[in-house]
Structure 1
Amino acid sequence: MTTTQPTGRVLSPVRASFLVFDSFWTWYRRNWRASVTSSFLQPALYLVALGFGFGSQVRPGPATLGLPYVQYLAPALLVASMMQIAAFESTYPVLSAFRWQQTYLAITATPITPGQVLGGQLTWIAARLGFSAVAFALIAAVLGAVTGPAIVWSVFIAVLTGMAVSAPIVAYSATLESEGQGFNVLFRFIIIPMTLFAGTFFPVEQLPGWVRPLVWITPLWHGTELSRDLTFGTVEPLQALGHLTYLVALLALGAYLARRVFNRKLAV
C-alpha cells in the first residue's frame, strides 16, 4: 500500500519509514554526546573490568574453551551490551513518543501511517545498535580481546539479538499509559537476570539443572551461543539454524504485536 501526500506525490512505505528514521537520526546527530557513556564507554569499561580485572584470576581451561577469559568474554559481552541498549531504546523513548512529547501523534497527522512509524522506529533502533556494536568491536580489537576478524559476525548477531529483544519491548511500552513500575519490573526481573545468567560470563552448564530450561528460552542465550560459535569457528549448522530461527521468530512476533498496538493507538 502506498501513501499519498497532499501534493499528489506518492510516498512508498519504505520512503515513509525512512523519513521517520531520518527524524531520529537528525536528533541524534545533535545530541549524540548524551549517549556516549551508555553506548560506548560503559560496555568498554565492562570489558576492561571483567575481562582483564576479574579475568586475570581465571585460568584458561574447558570453561573458557581454552582461551584467555577476556577473549572468551568479548563476543558474548558484545551481544549482552547491545541487548541492554536495545531494551533502553525500546522503553522510555517509545513511551515518551506516545505520552509526553507525542511525537508519534504528530507524525501520523501527516500521510505517514502507524505501521510506517513503527518501521522507522525499529530501523532507528537497529542503526543505534549497529553504531554501538561496531564501536565495541573496534575497542575490543585494540585491547587484544578478539581472536580474529570473525568478530564481525558477532556484530551482526548482536544487532539481531538486540532487535529480537527490542521489538517485543516496543510492543509492551506502547501499551503503557505511564512508566509506573512497568519498566522497573522489566529491567530488574528480565533484562538484568538475562545478562547475568544467560551464558555471558560463564557456561550455563555451571547452573543448576532446573534453571537451564529458563535460560534456553532467553534470546540472549541464543545470541551468545551463536556469537561465540561464529567467532571461534565452532559452528554446528543445525544448532546455528536453530538459534537464528528463534531470534528471527521473536523479532517477527514482537514486530507483529507492536504493529497492532501502534495501529490501535495511533489510528485516526
Structure 2
Amino acid sequence: MPRTTTAERRPLPQSPALRELGYWLHRYRRVWRGTVVISVANPLLFLTALGAGLGKLINAHAATALHGVPYLHFILPGLLAAAAMQTTYVESAGPVMQSMRTRGNYRAASATPLDPSDILHGHLMFVVLRVAMSGVMFALVGAAFGAVGAVRALLLVPCAVLIGLAFATPVMAWAVTVTRPVALNQMMRFGILPLYMFSGTFFPTTQLPRWLQAAAEVTPLWHGVELCRTLALGTATALATLVHVGYLAAMAAVGLWAARRSYRRHLHT
C-alpha cells in the first residue's frame, strides 16, 4: 500500500472569507426550511392576491395606465426586485449589528487571523446567496403563474443578485456602526418601506406627481424594478439596460469601498 506523504495529507488552502461564509452557512442549517417556505409563500400569496385578484379589476378599468400589459405580468418583476431589497436588508442590517454588538461573533472572528475585509466578504457572500435563493423561488413561482416565460425568468435571478449587492454593501457599511436596534427599525420605516411603495413596484411612477416621480427615478430600487420589468416584458433596450446595470453596479462598488473602511475602523478599535 503506497505511503501517504505529509504534503499529500495537507488540506488545500482556503480563502479566509470562505471560513466566515462557513460560519453563516452553519448557522443557516437550523433555519433553512423556514426560509425556503417563506420564499415560496411570499410570491405565491402576493401573485394570487394582487396579480390574479386585484389584477382583474385593474385590467378591466385601468389597462391604459399599464399600456395593455396584464397586471400580473406587470407586478411580478417589481415584486421580485422589492423582495431582493427586503431580503438583503433583513439578512444584513440586523445580523451585522448583532454580530458587532450583542452576539459578538464579529469580535471573536477579528481575534483570529481573519482580516476585517475577510469578515465582510464572507458575510456578504452569504447575503448574496440568500438573495439568489429568494430570486430563484420568486422566478419559479412567477413562471408557474404564467407571469413570465421560463427563459426570461432565468434572467431575473442575476438581476435580483445585482439589486441585492447594490443594497447590501451600503447597508453593511452603515449597520456595523449602529449601536441601537431602534435605528434599524427607523431605517426600515423611513427608508426601505417608502422605496417599496414608490419605486414602481405596484404601479407606474408616471402616476405620481412630477416631483415625486423625479425623486423615485433616482433611487436604486426604481432602477432595479425597471431592469427586471423590461427584461421580463421583453421591452428592454441596450442603452436603458446599461444605465440600470451601471447604476446598481456603481452603488455596489461604492458601498463595498465604504464597508471595507467601516469594518476596518470598527473592528480594529
Structure 1 runs of 4+ with >6 Å offset: none
- Structure 1: how far apart are the matches of 2:186 and 2:33? 28
The residue that corresponds to 1:17 in the other structure is 17
- Structure 1: how far apart are the matches of 2:31 and 2:82? 24
Native 8 Å contact 1:86 1:162 kept in 2: yes
From the CA coordinates, give the structure whose radius of gyration is larger: 2
> AA paired with 1:58?
I
TM-score, normalised on structure 1?
0.90
2:91 aligned residue (85, 89, 97): 89
- Deviation per CA, 1:111-155: give whole Å up to 9, x if none: 110001100111110000001110111112222222442121111
Native 8 Å contact 1:171 1:257 kept in 2: yes
The residue that corresponds to 1:45 in the other structure is 45
- Structure 2: how far apart are the matches of 1:212 and 1:72? 18
> AA paired with 2:28?
Y
Give the number of equivalent residue pairs. 258
Indicate the SS of the match to 2:59: coil
TM-score, normalised on structure 2?
0.90
- Structure 2: how far apart are the matches of 1:263 and 1:38? 34
**Aligned: 1:131 with 2:133:** yes
Structure 2: runs of 5+ lacking an equivalent: 1-9
Indicate the SS of the match to 1:199: coil
The residue that corresponds to 1:112 in the other structure is 114
Native 8 Å contact 2:148 2:233 kept in 1: no
The residue that corresponds to 1:3 in the other structure is none
Native 8 Å contact 1:38 1:85 kept in 2: no
Native 8 Å contact 1:164 1:247 kept in 2: yes
- Structure 1: how far apart are the matches of 2:268 and 2:244? 36
Deviation at 1:163? 1.7
The residue that corresponds to 1:212 in the other structure is 213
Indicate the SS of the match to 2:147: coil
Indicate the SS of the match to 2:99: helix
Indicate the SS of the match to 2:203: coil
The residue that corresponds to 1:200 in the other structure is 201
The residue that corresponds to 1:5 in the other structure is none
> AA paired with 2:18?
F
The residue that corresponds to 1:140 in the other structure is 142
- Structure 2: how far apart are the matches of 1:148 and 1:121? 31
The residue that corresponds to 2:158 in the other structure is 156
Percent identity of equivalent pairs:
38
- Deviation per CA, 1:239-266: give whole Å up to 9, x if none: 1111111101111111111111110111
Deviation at 1:234? 1.3
- Deviation per CA, 1:57-107: give whole Å up to 9, x if none: 111734334222111111111111111111111211111100011111111
- Structure 1: how far apart are the matches of 2:149 and 2:203? 18
> AA paired with 2:32?
W
Task: Pick which of 35-44 and 213-222 moved more.
Answer: 35-44
